[in-house]
Structure 1
Amino acid sequence: MKNKVSSTLSAMIVTLILQGCATDLSDDNPQEQAALKWQLVKMLPTPLQEVYPAVFKGKIYVAGAFEQTSSNMATLAHLAASNNTYVFDDARQAWLSGPLLPQSRHHLGLISSGDELYAIGGFDATKANAWQVKSSVYVMRDEGEAWQVGPELPIPMGESVYGALNGQIHVAGGRTMVDGKLTDTDAHWVLKKGHWSRAAPLPIASNSATSVVINEQWYVMGGRINSLDFKNLDNLWRYDPKEDRWQSLAPMPQPSAGLASAVINGQIYVFGGEEYTYVKNDKGKREMKTRTFDQIFRYDPATQRWATESLTMTSARHGLGAVSLGNQIYLLGGAIKAGATGTSAIVERLTF
């Protein structure tokens, strides 16, 4: 019943079709942007958040997210780590069931390269500990084929960013275990010929960022530092694999974590996210405040400038996934409230 209610609420959120154009943050007049609009797509089979999707062989894959479940099965609020794989066939506008993961995961990073789809790291969850970070890697080499065990990460990593550069898989940042404590990391590993090798670390140890690849350059945006009271970041870094070097670029218009991104027409689009801040209440005690975002930011690598779209998301969400397919951007799931509540089954696409 909970799933049906959540799906109904999700549908109500996106009944209006919104349209808009871009507002440039620079002093120059922006190039005229095509009108954007939202279209509701077939919803996820169940509400999901902490979604790291990928396009593989022309279809959208989602696996190993936090999935809404019954209270007796939940390990965090109304959620549990999932071992399901869901596959969206755009031609049929339908969700299909893919092969089960060998083990349940949340914050599982999916990334495709050539004829292989990788599912990397993430967390297992029990009622006693919902944040058991893992180093496991699973590989799918054909549609419908069972997940196979791949080359394990040198360290456990979850809430990381993932990229495919020159046919090689990169994983950076997120959280790992240090001296028995879950902590942010700047670690950066690259998979070469079946073996993981170190690469230049992220400039800042952080988690819950987002990333895209354009012209074999890796762009990493946002994130947060848990040890600094969950401080959000507005950083934009670009990684050059030939030089094994990170470069700092213009910061995002707003710091954000748990956000999503995708590329269309050489432009980077960034969506949503969440924020945790501490304030003093009337009694002088520290109290956490949270919020989620509905803004859409656009970055032009050619001009190295950010713009803010006048079109917003249909609802503020974090922990959502974003992929580009057929000159459209698909947004999948997420939660309308910060943390582990308000999980959604929404799937919508941004058309250009």
Structure 2
Amino acid sequence: MKKWTSLFLGAVLAAAPAVQAHAHPSHLTHPGVTPAVTDPFYGKGWQRLAPIAGGPRQEHSVAAVGDKVYVLGGVLADSSFTTTGKVEVYDTERDVWSGAAPMPVPMNHPNVAVVGGKVYVLGCLSGGASWQALRDSFVYDPNTNRWTTLPPIPAGIERGSAAVGVHGTKIYLAGGMRTLNPGPGGLQDTVATVTSYDAVTGRWETLPSLPQARDHVGGAVIGTKFYVLGGRDRGQVNVRDTVYAFDLRSRRWSERAAMPTARGGIATAVVGTKIYTFGGEGKQDGTNPNAVFNETEVYDALRDRWQRLAPMPVPRHGTAAVAVGGTIYIPGGGTAGGGSPADVNDAYRPTLW
């Protein structure tokens, strides 16, 4: 394992009806522009890692198998924010990147989970001027570096950007969105749909809907509870601080302690019985209503309490996080509101805080 140091760099998911979005006018309207990241402070558990070898990425997903972190799909920092099927692999022991077989279909906002050492992709968004939900599903075997096509998601429950959690052989999806028009005032169709997929039997099941629709939301399973944290509802400035817990045994939703900071487009990862949340989009401070958050906040599922931690050195949204051996890895994401993919790759180790 790499030696950790404190670095100081520089001076410092039932569907809701479609409605019109309240998107900020700048959403994805400055193609190919990635704001410079200057003077990040790495300390209090944060470490800078090798940047994504294939370049900037945003609206992707991540998965961990063994000591490898897989970055799947997303959009690239080109002139049209092209959706990609590219898969890149980060070796957490060697701090190096390599390539893997691309996904059969280019995807952004894919719903990704790991069961039995294999990576499952259950739906996504994709397309050009309008991103639409796809029913396409696949499973990737790291041992053979091959993708296998699964039966499509049942019609009517397809979506991307859902909260995802795993319990046993079942993958749970909550909320998400069916349509995202990445332009000024574009439609963002948020849903409250909740479903599960059994990776062994291939069976889908519809479960009680979320109390309120959510997309760009955090998800995690701890014990027999599926947590859905924060997110937004029909537009990136419509952020929420709510935390819902779904009891997998009673199949009932309850509301838990709210997040200290309402935000959507967050990344979440579990270490032990705590859920760590990072970044997000939709900050309304009176000057820039579409700013990016640097907040790091942790939810203690046993005590139903939140705590603020050291902020992200490089604030981001539209990213994803995953834990490997107690360290949380956060590759890519947007560094400004809307589309602003970055190749930043950071890690956070809670025990060093």
- For the aligned pair, the TM-score class normalised by the smaller chain equals 0.7 to 0.9
CA distance in 2, matches of 1:133, 1:278: 32
Offset of residue 188 of structure 1? 1.1
What letter is aligned with 1:301? A
Offset of residue 143 of structure 1? 3.0
Offset of residue 168 of structure 1? 0.6
Contact 1:257/1:275 (8 A) holds in 2: yes
In our comparison, the structure showing a higher alpha carbon Rg is: 1
> Per-residue CA shift, 1:61-93, capped at 9, x if unaligned?
111111223x2xx2xxxx210110111111222
Query: Please, what TM-score do these two structures have when normalized by structure 1?
Result: 0.81
What letter is aligned with 2:337? A
Whose strand proportion is higher, 1 or 2? 1
Give the match for residue 192 of structure 2. Answer: 186
CA distance in 2, matches of 1:223, 1:301: 18
> Per-residue CA shift, 1:260-291, capped at 9, x if unaligned?
11122322111110106698x9xxxxxx8311
> Per-residue CA shift, 1:94-118, capped at 9, x if unaligned?
1110111111111112210113211
Equivalent of residue 62 in structure 2, options 53, 58, 72: 53
Q: Is the alpha carbon distance of 1:314 and 1:276 closer, same or farther for their aligned partners in structure 2, counting shifts above 3 Å? A: closer
CA distance in 1, matches of 2:145, 2:330: 25
CA distance in 2, matches of 1:205, 1:42: 37
Contact 1:110/1:120 (8 A) holds in 2: yes
CA distance in 2, matches of 1:346, 1:337: 13
Offset of residue 216 of structure 1? 3.5
CA distance in 2, matches of 1:276, 1:90: 32
Structure 2 residue 75 is matched with structure 1 residue 66: yes
Give the match for residue 234 of structure 1. Answer: 241
Give the match for residue 347 of structure 1. Answer: 345
CA distance in 2, matches of 1:254, 1:208: 15
What letter is aligned with 1:57? G
Q: Is the alpha carbon distance of 1:42 and 1:250 closer, same or farther for their aligned partners in structure 2, counting shifts above 3 Å? A: same
Q: Is the alpha carbon distance of 1:13 and 1:100 closer, same or farther for their aligned partners in structure 2, counting shifts above 3 Å? A: farther
Contact 1:231/1:276 (8 A) holds in 2: no
Contact 1:98/1:144 (8 A) holds in 2: no
CA distance in 2, matches of 1:251, 1:65: 29
Equivalent of residue 213 in structure 1, options 221, 226, 247: 221
User: How many residue pairs end up in the alignment?
Assistant: 307
Gaps in structure 2 of 5+ consecutive residues: 1-32, 180-186
Give the match for residue 314 of structure 2. Answer: 315
Give the match for residue 98 of structure 1. Answer: 100
Give the match for residue 31 of structure 1. Answer: none
Offset of residue 300 of structure 1? 1.1
Equivalent of residue 115 in structure 1, options 114, 117, 133: 117
Offset of residue 321 of structure 1? 1.1
> Per-residue CA shift, 1:7-37, capped at 9, x if unaligned?
9x45x544x3222xxxxxxxxxxxxxxxxx2
What letter is aligned with 1:17? Y
Matched position secondary structure for 2:146: coil
Give the match for residue 141 of structure 1. Answer: 141
Equivalent of residue 17 in structure 1, options 42, 45, 53: 42
Give the match for residue 40 of structure 1. Answer: 48
CA distance in 2, matches of 1:331, 1:65: 14
CA distance in 1, matches of 2:110, 2:319: 13
Give the match for residue 274 of structure 1. Answer: 281
Give the match for residue 245 of structure 1. Answer: 252
Give the match for residue 33 of structure 1. Answer: none
Contact 1:57/1:143 (8 A) holds in 2: no
